[in-house]
Amino acid sequence: MISVAVLGAAGRMGTHVVNAVSGAEGLEVVAALDHGDDIAEAARAGATVAVDFTVPDVTEANVHALIDAGIHAVVGTTGWTQEALLRVDEHLRERPELGVLIAPNFALGAVLSMRFAAAAARYFESVEVIELHHPDKVDAPSGTALHTARAIAAARAEAGVAPSPDATTHDPDGARGAVIDGVHVHAVRLRGLVAHEEILLGNPGEQLSIRTDSFDRISFMPGVLLGVREVARHPGLTVGLDGYMSL
Amino acid sequence: MISVAVLGAAGRMGTHVVNAVSGAEGLEVVAALDHGDDIAEAARAGATVAVDFTVPDVTEANVHALIDAGIHAVVGTTGWTQEALLRVDEHLRERPELGVLIAPNFALGAVLSMRFAAAAARYFESVEVIELHHPDKVDAPSGTALHTARAIAAARAEAGVAPSPDATTHDPDGARGAVIDGVHVHAVRLRGLVAHEEILLGNPGEQLSIRTDSFDRISFMPGVLLGVREVARHPGLTVGLDGYMSL
Amino acid sequence: MISVAVLGAAGRMGTHVVNAVSGAEGLEVVAALDHGDDIAEAARAGATVAVDFTVPDVTEANVHALIDAGIHAVVGTTGWTQEALLRVDEHLRERPELGVLIAPNFALGAVLSMRFAAAAARYFESVEVIELHHPDKVDAPSGTALHTARAIAAARAEAGVAPSPDATTHDPDGARGAVIDGVHVHAVRLRGLVAHEEILLGNPGEQLSIRTDSFDRISFMPGVLLGVREVARHPGLTVGLDGYMSL
Amino acid sequence: MISVAVLGAAGRMGTHVVNAVSGAEGLEVVAALDHGDDIAEAARAGATVAVDFTVPDVTEANVHALIDAGIHAVVGTTGWTQEALLRVDEHLRERPELGVLIAPNFALGAVLSMRFAAAAARYFESVEVIELHHPDKVDAPSGTALHTARAIAAARAEAGVAPSPDATTHDPDGARGAVIDGVHVHAVRLRGLVAHEEILLGNPGEQLSIRTDSFDRISFMPGVLLGVREVARHPGLTVGLDGYMSL
């Protein structure tokens, strides 16, 4: 049985985490902390793993406190800078048996589709990205689509693949969308949708499409549980859930 | 048995038409004419219907010659102006028993999806169009997508529907695509594709998608055969194949 | 302003209906009734239209009481037999100014896709249906898919279209799915999905796909509001929401 | 410059291979052999790599002759038994510098989607396979779909994943399709299609879909060229093109 502390337990994601961990075989919630609570309670309750879905302001301090307390950490809070990651990495050298996972995305489908897209991108002449979201979103394209396009571009550059062919000479209204590191990205906004992404790859006579649909933030839970189960087996700092997956 | 003359019979489309008509039950090719041939041969051969897939320069003269010869006409040649259509309409008043069909698109899937999109557009809060083509295409968006977006916009205007909601305030690279009469249109170019279009409609909690894939110009043949079979039952000028369909 | 009574107002659908009507321009809820309440209250509150999402046991009596009270009725409760519909039809002859709408499905996307599929079916050589639902569903295929397949089969029979071609001679495990009135129907069950249906139509060189995704029963609300707004303009009994739509 | 011999050069695939190799940078065709020609000609022409798209009857003898001649072999002919593969493996011990690639499928999209599906399958509660082909196909499901389902089942078994949930108790017409090693497989047959496969994976609140569309056997050529370029760097027998890919 893995004893788990949940930080930010009263938040929207934290509530889901408490439910998911409580319902999972081999896991139990021993401390549900929120704003104002002391991290030391997690240790007193016997937690060996902590899950942090708090806010950018406090997550870094939380992780250092967890390391000091000898507790593995699974962190879904966003906003980590490169410098903050380096400070965690350094701190972990004092406790080489501890694992810390910091992941921007716990949706397994999203994590996998990004990995698959990057792996496939070098083998296809053309690749484009379409992301589709609810119409209340203020930015376009989505952060995930930007990240996907950059990963695709990096993989193609490393393999020496030519840019996707495009004979367009007349596009007065910008129908070809955004170009991110040479990869075309299209953003659809539609009432009824939540968060969706499609990566299209084309060669003469064939197409490969990888699509991920996220309907609900409950979709992060299988990834969180995977993190909780695996973190003790991965000492040191791991950034991105795919570091824990067999691909 | 309907006796058919094919004009432009040696061209790419004409060749397909000759094969399709020859293989269709109840139809036979009695004249296959091309550049330099005399339309009168169609009449001498006993044709009651002619199919014209020639070139913009000669198609108008062909149609008037067919009317004079008392032959129904099914025309797939593009480039007809409003004035040229009016001249045919006027000429047909002298021969009220004759039918002429002039259609920009004989692909049944494309014709139907445009009709369905226009019919559905007034019932949904959001609607966007994605067209996908081979990367050798020089213009974006496609003419069909432009036509679809305008038909959708007209249907929504007539029904007094509000514009699709869109909270986007930050789109530095144009990921939201073209806006045609208020309808967002996205153009994908991918090696391996031919001609594809998807119309996405969204309401709270539901999505309706209408997609048409054209892999080959053979896809025009069922529409051509429908035109040949129906033209005698539709006296006067009809523009667009949907005028012959039960929808 | 249309004054609306909601019957079954405390149920899952009824709660949505109360919220949707309250939030809609030109409509107001004047009575929210539930199990044990008297229909006469709807009349006393001045309702001109009533929405019934109750249970099969009481919906028929409700509709007759509404007719007696001179209130138009929009009914989403399922389980109506042909005989029960005839009794409503007969009762309405006494009140020729009243409208009653009884609809098995208020999701506009689902209603439209069924209509479109039936309209397109006669123009394509092949047609098949795929429905996809959550894995807790006990019956396969879904009632909607059965209904869709039968509507497609009826349209093709009426137009004299041949059965979809199928050269399969070896299918030891039943991969070709169910055959409903000659139309192949496939049922997918997948965690994360809600209710989805795709109708695939094929001709040489082209494909037409019509897909509807229902993520939430909130998707019924635009159809309910359409019914409430239109019912007074459609005297007599109407079965199916498409009777109120311009297609 | 890699000097290539093409065996079965007059066949449908062979013709494509000759064209593709001729047009590829860094490759040249030095011998185009067919039925009745002597493999020794390939050696005399200076070939270092041979591509074999012949027939099951002769492909094994061809490969052994190529090994004897010191030529690397890229083989797309189907019908290899486990015993025949072992004989090649054994023969190659005499020539440890030589590489032989025997691959049932050279379509990169198909190869990748099978790999991705197997990698993802252990992380999702549900997985099903839909294959779609032209209606002249006699067997269902397709060999590729069988292979995919088995690879998915093996990956899930290895990871100790429970069967996909399915509450179906009433399916009188077999809409749930075939069950291959516990994985549901659905076969659609539609005029206009060629060869398509979709793998659907679901978790609470999310779906991952991997789809591959093959429109033309030209789609095998990028995979054949990859094989030709890589075979010399992979001594010994490799079965399956994914052995040459960075995934």
Other beta carbons less than 10 A from residue D56's beta carbon: 12
Q: How many residues does chain C have?
A: 247
Residue A246 pLDDT level (bands cut at 50, 70, 90): confident
Q: Give the whole-angstrom CA distance, residue D244 versus residue D247.
A: 9
ipTM above 0.85, yes or no: yes
- Residue A28 pLDDT more than 90? yes
- Specify the pairing of strand D126-133 against strand D2-7: unpaired
- Specify the pairing of strand A72-75 against strand A99-102: parallel
Are the Cβ atoms of B123 and C112 closer than 8 angstroms? yes
- Residue A78 pLDDT more than 90? no
Q: Give the whole-angstrom CA distance, residue D140 versus residue D146.
A: 9
For residue B186, indicate whether it is catalytic: no
- Residue B69 pLDDT more than 90? yes
Q: Helix, strand, coil: what percent of chain C each, to 5?
A: 40, 25, 35
| Predicted local confidence at residue C246, as pLDDT | 85
Query: Under a CB-based contact definition with an 8 Å cutoff, are residues A29 and A75 in contact?
Result: no
CA D38 to chain centre: 27
SS3 A11: coil
Q: Is B200 on the interface with C (CB under 8 A)?
A: no
Across A10-17, average pLDDT: 95
Annotated binding-site residue? C76 = yes
Query: Is residue B121 domain-shared with residue B208, that is, in the same domain?
Result: yes
Sign, Cα dihedral of B186, B187, B193, B195: positive
pLDDT digits (tens, 9 = 90+) for B102-161: 998 999 999 999 999 999 999 999 999 999 999 999 999 999 999 999 999 999 999 999
Query: Under a CB-based contact definition with an 8 Å cutoff, are residues C99 and C201 in contact?
Result: no
- Residue B15 pLDDT more than 90? yes
Query: Is residue A81 domain-shared with residue A172, that is, in the same domain?
Result: no
Q: Give the whole-angstrom CA distance, residue C184 versus residue D175.
A: 8
Annotated binding-site residue? C9 = yes
Across A219-226, average pLDDT: 95
Of A120, A122, A218, the CB nearest to D205: A218
What does pLDDT average to over chain C? Answer: 96
pLDDT digits (tens, 9 = 90+) for C19-40: 999 999 999 999 999 988 899 9
Query: Under a CB-based contact definition with an 8 Å cutoff, are residues A194 and A215 in contact?
Result: yes
Residue B28 pLDDT level (bands cut at 50, 70, 90): very high
SS3 A198: strand
Residue D247 pLDDT level (bands cut at 50, 70, 90): confident
Residue C6 pLDDT level (bands cut at 50, 70, 90): very high
* Helices A108-121 and D108-121, packing angle to 10 deg: 150
The reply to whether omega before B163 is within 30° of 0 (cis) is no
Give A78 or C167, the one with higher predicted confidence: C167
Query: Under a CB-based contact definition with an 8 Å cutoff, are residues B188 and A184 in contact?
Result: yes
Q: Give the whole-angstrom CA distance, residue D151 versus residue D158.
A: 11
- Residue B79 pLDDT more than 90? no
Q: Give the whole-angstrom CA distance, residue C207 versus residue C200.
A: 7
Which residues have a Cβ under 8 Å from the Cβ of D25 and sit 6 or more positions away?
none
Query: Is residue A101 domain-shared with residue A163, that is, in the same domain?
Result: no
- Residue A124 pLDDT more than 90? yes
Which residues of A make up each annotated binding site for (S)-2,3,4,5-tetrahydrodipicolinate? Answer: 134, 143-144
Give Dmax over CA atoms of chain C in angstroms: 67
Query: Is residue B100 domain-shared with residue B222, that is, in the same domain?
Result: yes
pLDDT digits (tens, 9 = 90+) for D211-236: 999 998 899 999 999 999 999 999 99
Per-residue tokens: C103: 């609809």
Q: Is A167 on the interface with B (CB under 8 A)?
A: yes
Annotated binding-site residue? C220 = no
Q: Give the whole-angstrom CA distance, residue A72 versus residue B66.
A: 84
Per-residue tokens: A73: 């950490």
Return the CATH number at C53.
3.40.50.720
Which residues of A make up each annotated binding site for NAD(+)? Answer: 8-13, 34, 76-78, 103-106
| Predicted local confidence at residue C129, as pLDDT | 98
Q: Give the whole-angstrom CA distance, residue C155 versus residue A70.
A: 70
Distances (CA, A) of B211 to B197, C200, D191: 6, 10, 16
Show which of residues 71-110 on chain A sit within 8 Å of chain C, judged by CB atoms. Answer: none
Share of chain C above pLDDT 70, in %: 100
Tell me phi and psi for residue B78, to 5 degrees: -90, 175
Residue A17 pLDDT level (bands cut at 50, 70, 90): very high
Return the CATH number at D183.
3.30.360.10
Q: Is C142 on the interface with B (CB under 8 A)?
A: no
Structural domain total, chain C: 2
Residue D184 pLDDT level (bands cut at 50, 70, 90): very high
Of C206, C215, C217, the CB nearest to B109: C206
Annotated binding-site residue? B78 = yes
Closest CA to D201 of D215, D211, D187, D188: D211
- Residue D207 pLDDT more than 90? yes
DSSP A99: E
- Residue A62 pLDDT more than 90? yes
pLDDT digits (tens, 9 = 90+) for D120-145: 999 999 999 999 999 999 999 999 99
CA atoms within 13 A on the CB side of D125: 20
**Annotated catalytic residue, options C64, C72, C133, C184:** C133
Question: CA-based Rg of chain A, rounded to a whole angstrom?
Answer: 20
Query: Under a CB-based contact definition with an 8 Å cutoff, are residues A133 and A127 in contact?
Result: no
Q: Is D215 on the interface with B (CB under 8 A)?
A: yes
Q: Which helix (H) or strand (E) holds C30?
A: strand C27-33
Tell me phi and psi for residue D85, to 5 degrees: -65, -40
| Predicted local confidence at residue B217, as pLDDT | 85
**Mutate: best of C196, C215, C219, C221, partner A, most A CBs <10 A:** C215
Query: Is residue B70 domain-shared with residue B158, that is, in the same domain?
Result: no
Which residues have a Cβ under 8 Å from the Cβ of D138 and sit 6 or more positions away?
C167, C168, C169, C170
The whole-angstrom distance between C194's CA and the closest CA on chain A is 10
Q: Is A137 on the interface with B (CB under 8 A)?
A: yes
What does pLDDT average to over chain D? Answer: 96
Of A119, A212, A245, the CB nearest to D208: A212
Across D75-102, average pLDDT: 96
Closest CA to A212 of A132, A103, A122, A123: A132
CA B43 to chain centre: 27
Are the Cβ atoms of C184 and D179 closer than 8 angstroms? no
Query: Is residue B228 domain-shared with residue B196, that is, in the same domain?
Result: no
Query: Is residue D201 domain-shared with residue D230, that is, in the same domain?
Result: no
Report the chain B residue with the minimal C-alpha distance to residue A145.
Answer: B175
Annotated binding-site residue? B163 = no
Identify residue A204 by its one-letter amino acid code: P
Are the Cβ atoms of B210 and C210 closer than 8 angstroms? yes
Across A195-203, average pLDDT: 97
Query: Is residue A31 domain-shared with residue A78, that is, in the same domain?
Result: yes
For residue C133, indicate whether it is catalytic: yes
Report the chain B residue with the minimal C-alpha distance to residue C226.
Answer: B123
Query: Is residue A24 domain-shared with residue A79, that is, in the same domain?
Result: yes
Give D78 or C71, the one with higher predicted confidence: C71
Domain span holding position A126: 108-215
Query: Is residue C125 domain-shared with residue C183, that is, in the same domain?
Result: yes
- A-chain CB neighbours of C192 within 8 Å are 213, 215, 219
Query: Is residue D156 domain-shared with residue D207, that is, in the same domain?
Result: yes
| Predicted local confidence at residue D153, as pLDDT | 98
Query: Under a CB-based contact definition with an 8 Å cutoff, are residues B27 and B38 in contact?
Result: no
Identify residue D4 by its one-letter amino acid code: V
Query: Is residue B175 domain-shared with residue B80, that is, in the same domain?
Result: no
**Following CA atoms C20, C21, C23, C28 in sequence, which dihedral angle do they give, to the nearest 10 degrees?**
-170
Q: DSSP labels for C83-109?
A: HHHHHHHHHHTT-TT-EEEE-S---HH
CA D145 to chain centre: 12
The whole-angstrom distance between A184's CA and the closest CA on chain D is 20
| Predicted local confidence at residue C78, as pLDDT | 87
**Mutate: best of A108, A207, A209, A215, partner C, most C CBs <10 A:** A215
| Predicted local confidence at residue D79, as pLDDT | 87
The whole-angstrom distance between A216's CA and the closest CA on chain C is 9
| Predicted local confidence at residue C36, as pLDDT | 85
**Annotated catalytic residue, options B16, B72, B133, B186:** B133
Annotated binding-site residue? C162 = no
